[in-house]
A and B are shown apart, each in its own frame.
Chain A
Amino acid sequence: MEPVLDLRGITKRFPGVLANDHISIDLMQGEIHALLGENGAGKTTLMNILYGLYKPDEGDIFVKGQKLTIDTPNDAIKAGVGMVHQHFMLIPVFTVTENIMLGDEYLKPGGFLDRKKAAARIREISQQYNLQVEPDAYVKDLPVGIQQRVEIIKLLFRNADILILDEPTAVLTPQEVDELFNIMKKLVEQGKSIILITHKLREVMEFADRTTVIRGGKVIGTAKQSETNQFELAAMMVGRQIELNIDKKTAETKDVVLDVKNLKVLDTHHQVAVANVSFEVRAGEVLGIAGVQGNGQTELVRALTGLTHPVEGKIHLLERDITHAPVKQITELGTAHIPEDRQKDGLVMTYSIEDNLILNTWYKAPFTRNVILQRKVILDNAQQLVSNFDIRTPSALTATSHLSGGNQQKVIVAREFSRPIKLLVASQPTRGLDVGSIEYIHRRIIEKRDDGCAVLLVSTELDEIMQLSDRVAVMYRGQILAIVDPKTTSREEIGLLMAGVVPEAH
């Protein structure tokens, strides 16, 4: 059978990086083909080339046996290629309908938009593939899971039959991931073909038909699902054996570092997001906050780090009241924050890596002496951290916007871990990272814990929570339903708590 898509010898160079080095892959009709690779391996670059956003330096693209030059996204759309981007391409102030029909508008005579007809078509697609959306809702009011459906409908609206999904599951809750894969199955049944980029080996093993592993811009190999396993894929990807489980000592807890009492926080819509939450975190322990996304974790973290202020309750850090303290003071007291939305709250995307690494220490010695920034010290610091934290970049002076998603995350982690801290608030610290980097960051978190740092880990990945936490608090609808010991509590029990089911008291 002839492949619907065949990429041959694609090469792409960026200043100082060979992002794609003669990559060849093919995609069969009705297939889910997974692309696996470390952060910065070149997956997104390859897909952007296929989608006409970047021009390849070498190589050919064949769609259904025909050689095509794809210079613009328009060419790709015409060839039936559609892409859901790693960072969504939606316009928040537009409605779902407007976002979907943009560029392929339904018109009434005279050039006027026919929103009704477009909305009808959207409803039709919704029905056919079981992708529920409300066509008249504004995108800014939708949770990410729904936004992703909008992205997928965008492709189907244009009758794309080759779908590229770039890390679609990174921001989804487990339920949403299951829904997404049901949708994908449905799409494949209807004759679509899918390229799936993900870092999650479980998803690859469960859902893909074939997997291609890319490392350092080169194809390492392609394997059928039936002929491989997680460990083999992980090793291919990173080039060494990976321990998917890390072992840690039992925690030696000391004094209370963070003390939260009866906290109430409102979200941006002024609704109660965190209701009457109390807990404490001690030096030397990891308190994991489990919960389905959108149950108040975001607002809790924002209140703890000073990005918003609670309407009721008290927060004490090392016995000091920081309930209404400004961010700078909280930072200086020794709080490190790995934010959930790295591009919005974690980095200045147009700044170099070097400058992003000193965002919260730039005014201090040794980075500033007598009001003057010490560029040499700053650069040395950056080079040190780039190599310690294995940030894949041509240089420490590269703008962070040019880094791959996972490497952007590493810049934040490097910055926060490289100063003396008493409390680490980590929100989705490994979102979008490859297995090697996850292993690395997990180790560093445990290391911090063993050094006597208090760690508050917020994650929607139950595996991550179970592995790292000494105690697990489950959040549901703004409240902490229970704080349990992960060693004596099963995944299922925590899963039930996450769904709001509290076991009967015995």
Chain B
Amino acid sequence: MTQSNATVLKSYEYISPTRRTVMGIIFLALALGIWALFSRTVTPEMQTTFSLYPGGSSVVVPDWVFPTQPMLNVLAFAGALLGAYQLARGFGRQTNTILGVVSALFIFGFLAWGASGSSLNLAGLLKVAVVRAVPLVLGAFSGILCERSGVFNIAIEGMMLTAAFCAALFGSLVNIWFGLFIAILTGGVMALALAVLAIKYKVDQIIAGTVINIFATGITSFLSAKFLQRYGDLNDSGRFGTWDVPVLSKIPFIGPVFFSHNLFIYAMFIFVILLTVALFYTQWGLRTRAVGEHPKAADTLGINVNRTRYISVVLGGMMAGFAGAYFVLGSVGRFDEVMTAGRGFVGLAAMIFGNWNPIGSLGAGMLFGFADSLASKLAILKVPIPNKFLEMGPYIITMIVLAGVVGRGQPPAAGGKPYEKE
């Protein structure tokens, strides 16, 4: 047939001319920014020192020292070239990747400028970025599990917080492994509550999630004030130690940044693979996505819509529980009130930014983690920006991203809608 083969154009390959131009202008603006804001404000003899060795690890790498202004000029020139090409020909489907590259040039320029005349620990910065990304990425995975099956879960924050509390308590009472187990269980049970409300009673999912969040904040704050803060023994779980991956951790620079961490960081990298494979290459994944896209169609093919949703939501809750355990068992070793501080919501933003894809969400989470890490590092450098503004960085990035710089994502079509048979 004529219609089927030749004329069908895949819609995702298309980039509108306006978008192409706007992106080109953004690239040029960033390049100009590197030149005007950074390059022109340093003196020619200034030097930047980047330390490539985060300390503590066994492979010592010499510092990277370079003259600031020439480097900034090279960066600005590279950015301008990319911008010019974008305006003239366009990068097509690669546009977003190039946006990432140009942004990276800008950030690198910013760091070189900020550290001019002094030194910055680049390896330490990246290592912290990876660590900061963990709760965001795991939160995003929790969101993906729920939303791919068609259930909104904005209660990730509350699940993480409650799980963190349980991890501290049971980690202190028994041991950290038991604390971890209870944390995951807590996430699962809370998710089951959400699932019953959303699937069985068809309660509005945003409201159900909000209720769970408020409940979680209240109960953990109350119990924490009443017991954990008063009896120190109940709030001293300890944490998982660092484990160097054999061989890989010996790679200069890369090794200490990626391969010298605790359980949670490695789990994040393993989950990204597991989840991608499970969602896109297994029967379970196909059915879960079908239920999130078009439950009625799935139903007519004999798939039990509600059961599929229950399973996904509970798995998502367990993921949130694991993420919550990180705050205590993977980080500070004790529970503090509202210690998740909105990370669950930023995780949801990472999920959306990552277009409901595990790999995309990992990238998004890393980006937010980097912004977070950068904000705390810059506070130490002599950058003339008030600290509080730097701390807003990750959230401003989140908002810009959500406002659609990256282009519109494709959420599961049946998200948030309970399934009615008749």
Which A residues fall within an 8 A CB radius of B? 14, 51, 53-54, 72-74, 77, 83, 85, 89-94, 98-99, 101-105, 107, 111-113, 132-134, 137-138, 140-143, 145-146, 154, 268-271, 294
Contact = CB atoms under 8 A, between A and B. Distances in A.
A77 B302 CA distance: 8
B153 to A, nearest CB: 21
B301 A104 contact: yes
B11 A103 contact: no
Given A91-B294, A134-B4, A102 B301 contact: yes
Contacts of A112: 281-282
A113 B301 contact: no
Contact of A140 (B11, B16, B298): B11
B283 A73 contact: no
B284 interface: yes
Given A83-B300, A113-B281, A102 B286 contact: yes
3 shortest A-B CB distances, which residue pairs? A103-B301, A74-B302, A89-B297
A101 to B, nearest CB: 8
B4 A133 contact: yes
A294 B8 CA distance: 12
A269 B294 contact: no
Given A113-B283, A142-B8, A89 B3 contact: no
A140 B12 CA distance: 11
B11 A141 contact: yes
Contacts, number: 98
B303 interface: yes
B299 A73 contact: yes
Nearest to B292: A91
A440 B274 CA distance: 59
Interface residues of B, number: 33
A102 B282 contact: no
Nearest to A179: B1
A440 B300 CA distance: 34
A104 B300 CA distance: 12
B296 interface: yes
A112 B413 CA distance: 24
13 contacts: A77-B301, A89-B301, A92-B293, A93-B293, A94-B293, A103-B287, A103-B301, A103-B303, A132-B1, A146-B4, A269-B11, A270-B16, A271-B9
Contacts of B301: 73, 77, 89, 102-104, 154
B10 A89 contact: no
B7 to A, nearest CB: 8
Given A53-B421, A104-B301, 5 more contacts: A90-B297, A92-B413, A104-B302, A137-B4, A154-B301
B300 A113 contact: no
Nearest to B280: A113
Interface in B268-299: 281-284, 286-287, 289-290, 293-294, 296-299
A103 B298 contact: yes
Contacts of A53: 299-300, 421-422
A90 B413 CA distance: 12
A99 B284 CA distance: 14
**Most A CB atoms within 10 A — which of B5, B298, B300, B421?**
B300
Nearest to B294: A91
Contact of B8 (A74, A90, A105, A137): A137
B14 interface: yes
B1 A141 contact: no
Contacts of B293: 91-94
Contacts of A98: 286
A268 B303 CA distance: 32
A268 B11 contact: yes
Contacts of A101: 286
Given A93-B410, A98-B286, A270 B300 contact: no
A89 B8 CA distance: 21
Interface string B1-31: 1011101111100101000000000000000
B4 A132 contact: yes
A143 B282 contact: no
Contacts of A137: 4, 8
Contacts of A269: 9, 11, 14
B300 A89 contact: yes
A271 B9 CA distance: 9
Contacts of A94: 289-290, 293
Contacts of B287: 102-103
A145 B283 contact: no
Nearest to B293: A91
Contacts of A14: 422
B278 to A, nearest CB: 9
B11 A73 contact: no
A105 B300 contact: no
A269 B282 CA distance: 31
A237 to B, nearest CB: 26
A91 B11 CA distance: 16
A150 to B, nearest CB: 11
A164 to B, nearest CB: 11
Contacts of A73: 299-302
A431 to B, nearest CB: 19
B239 to A, nearest CB: 35
A54 B422 contact: yes
A443 B242 CA distance: 81
Nearest to A176: B1
Nearest to B301: A103
Given A112-B281, A112-B282, A146-B1, A102 B11 contact: no
A465 B14 CA distance: 36
B4 A102 contact: no
A186 B64 CA distance: 75
A89 B282 contact: no
Contacts of A107: 283
Contacts of A103: 287, 298, 301-303
Interface in B32-78: none
Interface in B396-422: 410, 413, 421-422
Nearest to B414: A91
Nearest to B297: A89
B286 A142 contact: no
A141 B14 CA distance: 13
Contacts of A133: 4
B9 A111 contact: no
A478 to B, nearest CB: 12
A182 to B, nearest CB: 13
**Most A CB atoms within 10 A — which of B283, B284, B289, B296?**
B283
B21 to A, nearest CB: 15
A467 to B, nearest CB: 28
A141 B410 contact: no
Given A91-B293, A91-B294, A270-B14, A142 B4 contact: yes
Contacts of A113: 281-283, 286
Contacts of B14: 269-270
Contacts of A90: 294, 297
A291 to B, nearest CB: 14
A145 to B, nearest CB: 7
A202 B294 CA distance: 34
